[in-house]
């Protein structure tokens, strides 16, 4: 969440950010109203407590005095209950307000206003009609959507044979690069997470409808390992000398993807279950801009090593994620669609997630503050799989294996 003091001291600044995000201001106005009422109620409780303290005689009170003191005490307890209810309500509204944008975030009305920073790699040319990744994968018996629908329904996939091995090779390759070349510590967390963890990174309450909930429990299927890796330090105070903390993990991720449609629902682009390698860094506030640039480079290095053409895009204000203050997307080239498609979002959340999850740092002088969190996909494995087989397809309907993956697969071509 954003700093409540900022809302109290400069509400117009927050309103401006909401306008730039094209986000309704209802939650902000309700928070302002409830926060004002809560502070007034708090002052009244403190005043009544002072009155009770000064009204209590040092001698043994008379029966009449006992009655007055008891009545005053009951009033204080009633006010405290009201105060707690107000605090809970205002905090719920605070959790529904998105992050403050970075000062240099480009303004815009939709994803069409995102800013292309640069393009990398050469777009391949073909002297034949290219196949889409889903058609190609099925023709090579790499994936079976029909069998998946029998056991799980639509928008699931069964990877088979070389398809399963390619997915596993990509995961292995990504983790090796991030741990060996980029210095991340590998983790293997649970994929079931509780509400507090999801609230800490901003998935709850905002995105409740996009999550899979386990009935009669407080457990949810994680939509991204960002949740687990960030919340490893929930309620922690970390010595500043131990920062930055860099973590990576491969997990299955689960999302309803209720709002997607059209080409997005075909193939491996938007499944309900998908594999992803995640990157998370916990950093000192002074270092977060630099670390975001570094983390973006780490994700890019996977695409460069696989020789996949891509571009870097900075998201505009209206397309920014709820918790993010600054975001760069990596978009990989899909020949069958003749366009770039997102494969990673790398974001600086500033202290937004740290406030929600209570993750702080302590400097050498003993001062405590909220650290900054940075995260990005490194990469979405299914989309990498899809982009790879499209870009490396041949006229014979086979797929050449990029050099970086040959040691993991042991073959030159998928046939």
Q: What backbone torsions phi and psi does residue 116 show, to the nearest 5 degrees? A: -75, 125
Q: Which pLDDT score is estimated for 37?
A: 95
* High-pLDDT (> 70) share of the chain, %: 98
In a domain, 194, yes or no: yes
In a domain, 106, yes or no: no
pTM of the model: 0.93
Domain with residue 44: its CATH number is: 1.10.287
Largest CA distance in the chain: 102
Domain extent, residue 141, equals: 111-414
Does 23 lie in the same domain as 115?
Answer: no
The structural domain count of the chain equals 2
pLDDT in tens, 35-85: 999 999 999 999 998 888 888 877 787 878 788 888 889 999 999 999 999
Helix, strand, coil fractions of the chain, as percent rounded to 5: 45, 20, 35
Average confidence (pLDDT) over 250-269: 79
pLDDT in tens, 106-142: 999 999 999 999 999 999 999 999 999 999 999 999 9
Decide: 109 and 21 in contact? Cβ < 8 Å. no
pLDDT in tens, 356-389: 999 999 999 999 999 999 999 999 999 999 999 9
Does 128 lie in the same domain as 20?
Answer: no
Quick one: three-class SS letters along 3-67?
CHHHHHHCHHHHHHHHHHHCCCCHHHHHHHHHHHHHHHHHHHHHHHHHHHHHHCCCCCCCHHHHH
In a domain, 45, yes or no: yes
* High-pLDDT (> 90) share of the chain, %: 91
pLDDT in tens, 173-227: 999 999 999 999 999 999 999 999 999 999 999 999 999 999 999 999 999 999 9
Residue 254: name the closest of 271, 237, 277 by CA: 271
In whole angstroms, give the CA distance from residue 287 to residue 235.
21
pLDDT in tens, 298-330: 999 999 999 999 999 999 999 999 999 999 999
The residues carrying an active-site annotation are 255, 270, 342, 345, 383
Choose one of 64, 94, 124: the last residue of a domain. Answer: 94
Average pLDDT score over the chain? 95
In whole angstroms, give the CA distance from residue 196 to residue 201.
9
Q: Which pLDDT score is estimated for 265?
A: 62
The size of the chain, in residues, is 415
Choose one of 62, 94, 126: the last residue of a domain. Answer: 94
Does 176 lie in the same domain as 315?
Answer: yes
Does 119 lie in the same domain as 75?
Answer: no
Domain with residue 399: its CATH number is: 3.30.930.10
Choose one of 94, 125, 158: the last residue of a domain. Answer: 94
In whole angstroms, give the CA distance from residue 9 to residue 399.
59
In a domain, 101, yes or no: no
């Amino acid at each position: 969440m954003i700093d409540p003091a900022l809302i109290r001291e400069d509400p117009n600044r927050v309103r401006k950010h909401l306008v730039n995000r094209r986000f309704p201001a209802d939650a902000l106005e309700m928070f302002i109203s409830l926060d004002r009422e809560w502070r007034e109620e708090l002052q009244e409780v403190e005043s009544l407590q002072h009155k009770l303290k000064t009204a209590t005689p040092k001698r043994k009170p008379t029966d009449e005095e006992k009655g007055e003191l008891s009545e005053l005490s009951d009033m204080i307890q009633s006010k405290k209950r009201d105060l707690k209810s107000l605090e809970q309500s205002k905090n719920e509204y605070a959790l529904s307000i998105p992050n403050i944008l970075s000062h240099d975030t480009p303004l815009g009305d939709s994803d069409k206003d995102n800013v292309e920073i640069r393009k990398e790699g050469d777009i391949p040319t073909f002297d034949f009609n290219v196949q889409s990744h889903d058609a190609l994968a099925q023709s090579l018996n790499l994936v079976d959507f029909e069998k998946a629908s029998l056991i799980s329904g639509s928008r699931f996939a069964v990877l088979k044979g070389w398809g399963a091995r390619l997915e596993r090779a990509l995961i292995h390759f990504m983790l090796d690069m991030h741990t060996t070349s980029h210095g991340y510590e590998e983790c293997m967390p649970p994929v079931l997470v509780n509400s507090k963890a999801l609230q800490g990174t901003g998935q709850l309450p905002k995105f409740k409808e996009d999550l899979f909930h386990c009935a009669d429990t407080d457990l949810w299927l994680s939509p991204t390992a960002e949740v687990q890796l960030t919340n490893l330090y929930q309620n922690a105070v970390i010595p500043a000398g131990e920062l930055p903390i860099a973590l990576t993990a491969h997990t299955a991720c689960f999302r309803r993807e209720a709002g997607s449609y059209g080409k997005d629902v075909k193939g491996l682009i938007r499944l309900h279950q998908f594999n992803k390698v995640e990157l998370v860094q916990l950093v000192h506030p002074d270092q977060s801009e630099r670390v975001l640039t570094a983390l973006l480079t780490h994700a890019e290095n996977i695409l460069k090593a696989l020789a996949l053409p891509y571009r870097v895009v900075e998201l505009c204000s209206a397309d920014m994620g709820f918790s993010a203050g600054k975001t760069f997307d990596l978009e990989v080239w899909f020949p069958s669609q003749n366009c770039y498609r997102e494969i990673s979002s790398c974001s600086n959340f500033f202290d937004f997630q740290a406030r929600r999850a209570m993750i702080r740092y302590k400097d050498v002088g003993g001062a405590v503050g909220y650290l900054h969190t940075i995260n990005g996909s490194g990469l979405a494995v299914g989309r990498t799989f899809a982009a790879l087989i499209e870009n490396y397809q041949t006229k014979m309907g086979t797929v050449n294996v990029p050099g970086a993956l040959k040691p993991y697969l042991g073959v030159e071509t998928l046939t």
